Amino acid sequence: MKVGLIGFAGAGKTSLFQAVAEGAGKGSIAAVRVPDPRFDKIVAQVRPKKATPATVTLTDDLDDAQGGTGRLFTQRFLDEARKLDLLLHVVRAFESDVAPYHASVDPQRDISTIEDELVLTDLQIVENRLERLKKSTTARTPGTPDYLDRVFFERVRAELENGRPIRALDLTEDEAAIARNYQFLSAKPMVVALNVSESEAGRPGPEIQSLIAKLGSVGTQAFAVSAEVEREIAQLDPEAQREFLADYGLEEPASARLVRAVYDSLGLITFFTAGENETRAWPLRRGSTALKAADTIHSDIARGFIRAEVVSYADWEAAGSWEAAVAQGRMRLEGREYVVQDGDLLHIRNKS
């Protein structure tokens, strides 16, 4: 899953990136580990030659949003943002004498400004497509791709004109597929990181708490973070990190809060494969089948899928190992349509 940091210059995107990358970054891209004590326990029991945690790819390569008049986003920003799975909007919520955009602190204004521009960008695409569809004879023939596009775009245009992002709409499966084909920016999941001052690092004020609650009420994951404080803490050794986090009233580092918000927004769960050569945690869309999980591991495994051997994490933990779970009758054989549950340990039987 690829996540891109967006926002105005001076909001603290790079500071947050550096805090979350924790030395795992290469240039402007970092594979951020998904913290999961279940995976750690599995690795400790199996002792594999290689342990591969689930990761989220974070990129800080997008152009800043441009303040003032004119276009808010560059063409390069639009091209790169369309390749992302999720947009992480870093919003300035701290006083700054050098912020190049907006002298006053107003997180709600900045959030709305970015959102409005995403909506307008998609509206332009929709209007251009509808103009072309007027010339298509098949756009009036029910069931054709052009007809389906026209019906969808006419519905979406009205919503976008009212300022509603596509992600806020209740789309059918077919409509969601059309939206993905056109890589609409306002359809992409959004997480908001409110970059607060050091004094609010672990204790955000009532205005920030209210804004987080307001965003949550419309389905947008949001969290407060003091990116500069977190960046400095990330440079310390683990023991010192725990001490400084506690001093600021923080229970976990920024990376954990960020990854959890991303997982929730993308509707992800984690399943595990536990082998002596490699034990691995895999992100998977909630509601996905065992066949999709097999394809996530490798397309050849999916093509040769026979059955999935499944042990829930709770059963694995109670038994103490995969072998013990099997001996106790806790392992189940499931078909390709089985819906994988968060924490499942899977072994896919396939035609090799």
> How far is Cα 238 from Cα 169, in angstroms, rounded to an integer?
43
Alpha helices, DSSP H only, in 23-66?
37-46
Summarised one tens digit per residue, pLDDT across range 69-101 is 568 899 999 999 999 999 999 999 998 877 766
Q: What is the residue-averaged pLDDT of the chain?
A: 92
What's the pLDDT band for 25 if we cut at 50, 70, 90? low
Query: pLDDT over 90 for what percent of the chain?
Result: 79
Its pTM stands at 0.90
The helix-helix angle for 206-217 and 107-133 (nearest 10°) equals 20
Task: Summarize the confidence of residues 93-113 as an average pLDDT.
Answer: 84
CB 312 within 8 A of CB 343: yes
- Tell whether the model's pLDDT for residue 352 goes beyond 80: no
| 287-350 fold | Ubiquitin-like (UB roll) (3.10.20)
Position 157 scores a pLDDT of 96
As a CATH number, domain 2-265 is: 3.40.50.300
Summarised one tens digit per residue, pLDDT across range 35-65 is 999 999 999 999 999 999 999 999 999 999 9
Task: Summarize the confidence of residues 324-345 as an average pLDDT.
Answer: 97
Which of 20, 2, 168 is CA-nearest to residue 82?
Answer: 2
> How far is Cα 316 from Cα 350, in angstroms, rounded to an integer?
22
Q: Where are the domains of the chain?
A: 2-265, 287-350
Summarised one tens digit per residue, pLDDT across range 295-309 is 999 999 999 999 999
What's the pLDDT band for 143 if we cut at 50, 70, 90? confident
